[in-house]
Amino acid sequence: MTAAPRLRGAARREYRRLSRAADMPPPTHPLVTLTPGIPVAADDGAELLTDHWHAEGAGGQTLLIRTPYGRGGVAGVARFFAERGHHVVVQSCRGTFGSGGSFSPLHDEVADGQATLRWVRGQSWATDRVHSWGGSYFGVTQWAYCDGEERPDTMGIAISARRFDDAILYPGGGFSIDTPLTWAYALDMQERSLPRRIWALLRARWAIPRGTLATPPGEAVRVAGKADPQFFRDWVDHSDQGDPWWHPLRFASDVDTIPPVTLMAGWQDLFLVGQLADYAALKDADRPVRLIIGDWIHGDPETTVMGVREALAAFADTGKGADVRLEISGGAGWHEFEQWPVPTTTVFREFTADGQLALPEAERPAAALPYRYDPADPTPDAGGRTLNPFAAGRRDQRVREHRDDVLIFTGDPLPEDLVIIGEPGIDLTFASSNPRADLFIRLCEVDLKGRSRTITDVYQRLPAEAAPNESRRIRLSFAPIAHRFAAGSRLRVQVSSGAHPLHLRNPGTADPVRDHSRLIGSDQVVHVGGAAPAALTLPALDTSRAPAVHVPVAR
pLDDT tens digits, 253-310: 999 999 999 999 999 999 999 999 999 999 999 999 999 999 999 999 999 999 999 8
pLDDT at position 546: 59
DSSP string, 189-207: HTTS-HHHHHHHHHHHHHH
Backbone angles phi, psi at 477, to 5 degrees: -110, 130
Contact predicate 254/369, CB 8 Å: no
Which residues is 313 bridged to in the sheet? Answer: none
E strands present in 377-470: 407-411, 418-422, 425-432, 438-446, 452-461
Residue 376 host element (H or E)? none
Contacts of 389 (CB under 8 A, 6+ apart): 297, 299
Distance CA 136, CA 502 (A): 18
Contact predicate 61/108, CB 8 Å: no
DSSP string, 470-482: --EEEEEEPPPEE
Backbone angles phi, psi at 523, to 5 degrees: -105, 125
**Is residue 521 helix, strand or coil?**
coil
Percent of residues in the chain assigned helix, strand, coil, to nearest 5 = 25, 30, 45
First-to-last CA distance in the chain?
34
Residue 6 burial by CB count (10 A; 0-12/13-18/19+): exposed, middle or buried? exposed
Distance CA 356, CA 350 (A): 8
pLDDT at position 194: 83
Please give the angle made by the CA atoms of 220, 225 and 228, to the nearest 5 degrees: 60
Distance CA 274, CA 327 (A): 18
**Dihedral angle over CA of 151, 154, 159, 161, nearest 10:** 40
Cα separation values, 517 from 216, 243, 510, Å: 7, 23, 11
pLDDT at position 226: 84
Contact predicate 282/321, CB 8 Å: no
**Is residue 353 helix, strand or coil?**
coil
Distance CA 227, CA 264 (A): 32
pTM for this model (two decimals): 0.94
pLDDT at position 291: 96
Contact predicate 223/80, CB 8 Å: no
Contacts of 539 (CB under 8 A, 6+ apart): 341, 342, 344, 345, 346, 347, 420, 421, 422, 423, 424
pLDDT at position 428: 96
Residue 244 burial by CB count (10 A; 0-12/13-18/19+): exposed, middle or buried? exposed
Helix axes 301-316, 75-82, angle to 10 degrees: 30
For the chain, 555 residues long, give each residue's pLDDT as a single digit of tens.
Answer: 677 778 988 999 999 999 999 889 999 998 999 999 999 999 999 999 999 999 988 888 999 999 999 999 999 999 999 999 999 999 999 999 999 999 999 999 999 999 999 999 999 998 879 999 999 999 999 999 999 999 999 999 999 999 999 999 999 999 999 999 999 999 999 998 888 888 888 899 999 999 999 999 999 999 999 899 999 999 999 999 889 999 999 999 999 999 999 999 999 999 999 999 999 999 999 999 999 999 999 999 999 999 999 888 877 775 555 789 999 999 999 999 999 999 999 999 999 999 999 998 878 889 999 999 999 999 999 999 999 999 999 999 999 999 999 999 999 999 999 999 999 999 999 999 998 999 999 999 999 999 999 999 999 999 988 999 999 999 999 999 999 999 999 999 999 999 999 999 999 999 999 999 999 999 999 999 988 899 999 999 986 665 666 555 444
